[in-house]
Structure 1
Amino acid sequence: MGPGVDAILCVVRTGGASRRLPKGFAPWPTLHWYFTWWHGDGSVERIHDGLFALWRYSFVRLGLRLVERRGAAGA
């Protein structure tokens, strides 16, 4: 499962297509299967929520102020 997570994070980080992953990762159909499986069972959402909580905590710990956007400008 570790290499699958690394590959998905690589795609997210670079914004590239999963079919264009560097050599050394599993074939893209395998990674796509993992992603759809994790998305279906809620794992992707839990990972996102956990990472967002860590990001938000780091802002609070550094004493930075979060500005939450509410809708489009001028709306």
Structure 2
Amino acid sequence: MHIIWVLIVGAIIGAIAGAITKTSLGWILNILAGLVGSYLGEMVLGSWGPHLAGMAIFPSIIGAVILVIVASLIVGAMRKK
């Protein structure tokens, strides 16, 4: 049951990051951006603020936003070739 909550929270974090950056990656990539961004955000910024499903919300969102920006820059560069 815990994994379901992690996926749901990861999807929400990824969707928030997509909304902040005005980037649509699709729901699977939103989940991945939320999960990976959460991991990276907590590694760099620490685990502060409110937690949900074992993820610190604010560092997770910041990490996911950065990840979405980097991913969209890479995809944009690949499309130009």
What TM-score does the superposition give when structure 1 sets the normalisation length?
0.40
Tell me which protein shows more helix as a share of its residues: 2
Larger RCO of the pair (alpha carbons < 8 Å, separation 6+): 2
What TM-score does the superposition give when structure 2 sets the normalisation length?
0.38
Larger Rg belongs to: 1
